[in-house]
Homo-oligomer: A and B are copies of this chain.
Amino acid sequence: MEIKLSTQPYKGTRDFYPREMKMRNWFFSKIKKSLEAACFDEYDGPMLESLDLYAAKSGEELAKEQTYNFSDRGGRNLAIRPEMTPTVARMVAAKMGELNYPLKWFCISNMYRYERPQRGRLREFWQLNVDIFGCDTFEADLDVIKSAISLLRAFGADQSMFRVHINNRRFFNDAIAAIAGTDVEGSRRVSKVVDRKNKVPREAYEADLKALGLDDAQIAEIDELYTMSVKEATALCPDSEGARELNALFEALEKTDLLKYCMFDFGIIRGLDYYTGTVFEVFDEAPENNRAMFGGGRYDNLVGLFVKNAKISGVGYGMGDVTLENFLTTHHLVPDLDNDGTKVLVTRFDDVPLEAYNTLVDILQESGVRAALYLGNKKFGKQIDFAAKEHYSHVVIMGGNELAAGEVKIKNLQTREEVTVAHEALGKFFH
């Protein structure tokens, strides 16, 4: 065989053969069902957007570097969406006055990021985005965190498998100010160092803080925040709006029985300029896998890029398909997807006319059973092999004798049991 064109998918992208597709459909339909149970509405937007959308958010250089972008023949600069937020912000801004707030929206879409493919990071991935727009209070934060917990629980995940680590950006800044006596700009600089705490050697971390004027005692105070409960931590700056939000959220989590899935974590910052209130990350609790799977938080001004002097707040999160699949696999939460219920193959012999077999297929389908006729002219044994490989649960067998007798044989491919059934009883047999 001479290969003429490559059969490989483009680097960092995947082919979804029926088996992989069944997996993707399985987990995304579970997620959809879980979100729809809580009255979230699904939306979607185009794959291509104006590059300006991303440039306005992240700067043109970064937008160009991280996206697949190009110009159309009209000279418009376009990018394949690397994330959903700019699209949904555009959509909300376009109908800002007519939408019925608060919006509870979700979306499951593919995105492209121009990056080096590595474990858990592909160039094409599917991402769930869940957001509530237009509700300023901690109750929306609670609802969003609850939805994340609910969807993991829908897969059978329990509190031993994941934990939601929660912090608040306003509290973070106020706590730093309380410890180091910094002004807004000073707190911002300290935050940038603290955000890198676990990514740089301890000496470098301390040196950077000292360069900003902090002493050993202050550095030790920051360290302590990582070990504190939310009550202890917020006592540090009780008048902080962030502290009040954090306490209200944790109180509500406790009273709604969700606290067992959550913890306060001063280390959750999630970048420095986008989020403005509650921030959270969901951690995989498997020891071999312990890391943040996904996260999100509250941002104050969704539509700011589009409409001057208008504010719509949002709180939400995004979750990638690869991360979720790793989690589900690690915790053995994926059922046997091959075994997906009753599916019947009608096998064939030469001495029976095609329409007689088609009638059987119709009877089965009309009774709500997935059924197909074997297409081809292979021997009976090969037809059974085909059925087994395609995970049919049963085959229907009808030769000339059975046809004459108005009967069929039904063979269960798992148990190998065979029963004889009259044609008119076929529809009811599987119910």
Given A3-B306, A10-B76, A46-B9, are A15 and B70 also a contact pair (CB < 8 Å)?
no
Inter-chain contacts of A36 with B (CB < 8 A) = 370
Q: Is A232 an interface residue (CB 8 A)?
A: no
Q: Is A8 an interface residue (CB 8 A)?
A: yes
Inter-chain contacts of A15 with B (CB < 8 A) = 43-46, 87, 90-91, 94
Q: Is A137 an interface residue (CB 8 A)?
A: yes
Q: Is A52 an interface residue (CB 8 A)?
A: yes
Q: Decide if B5 touches A56 in the complex (CB within 8 Å).
A: yes
A356-385 at interface with B (beta carbon < 8 Å): 358-359, 361-362, 365, 368, 370-373, 375-377
Q: Is A48 an interface residue (CB 8 A)?
A: yes
Size range of the interface on A? 35 or more
Inter-chain contacts of A13 with B (CB < 8 A) = 46-48
What is the chain B residue whose CB lies nearest that of A305? B5
User: How many Å lie between the Cα of A372 and that of B22 in the bound state?
Assistant: 30
Q: How many identical chains are in the complex? A: 2
Q: How far is the CB of A260 from chain B (nearest CB, A)?
A: 15
Q: Decide if B45 touches A47 in the complex (CB within 8 Å).
A: no
Given A2-B309, A132-B375, A376-B102, are A10 and B48 also a contact pair (CB < 8 Å)?
yes
Inter-chain contacts of A43 with B (CB < 8 A) = 15-18, 21
Select which of B45, B100, B255, B376 is within 8 A of A355 by beta carbon: B255
Q: Is A412 an interface residue (CB 8 A)?
A: no
A67-95 at interface with B (beta carbon < 8 Å): 68-70, 72-73, 76, 78, 80, 87, 90-91, 93-95
Inter-chain contacts of A373 with B (CB < 8 A) = 139, 143
Name the residue among A8, A46, A52 with the largest chain B CB count within 10 angstroms: A46
Select which of B7, B104, B123 is within 8 A of A93 by beta carbon: B7
A10-49 at interface with B (beta carbon < 8 Å): 10-11, 13-18, 21-22, 24-25, 36-39, 41-49
Q: How far is the CB of A262 from chain B (nearest CB, A)?
A: 15
Q: Is A326 an interface residue (CB 8 A)?
A: no
Name the residue among A48, A91, A353 with the largest chain B CB count within 10 angstroms: A48
| A interface list, Cβ under 8 A from B | 1-11, 13-18, 21-22, 24-25, 36-39, 41-50, 52-53, 56, 68-70, 72-73, 76, 78, 80, 87, 90-91, 93-95, 100-102, 104-105, 110, 112, 114, 123-124, 132, 135, 137, 139-140, 143, 252, 255-256, 305-310, 343, 345, 353-355, 358-359, 361-362, 365, 368, 370-373, 375-377, 386, 389-390, 392
Q: A4-B306, A18-B41 are in contact. List 14 more A-B contacts (CB 8 A).
A: A1-B308, A3-B307, A10-B48, A15-B87, A15-B94, A38-B365, A38-B371, A47-B112, A48-B80, A48-B112, A68-B72, A80-B80, A256-B354, A256-B359
Q: What are the 10 A-B residue pairs with the smallest beta carbon separation, nearest first?
A: A13-B46, A18-B41, A7-B94, A255-B355, A70-B70, A39-B372, A2-B308, A16-B44, A135-B375, A100-B389
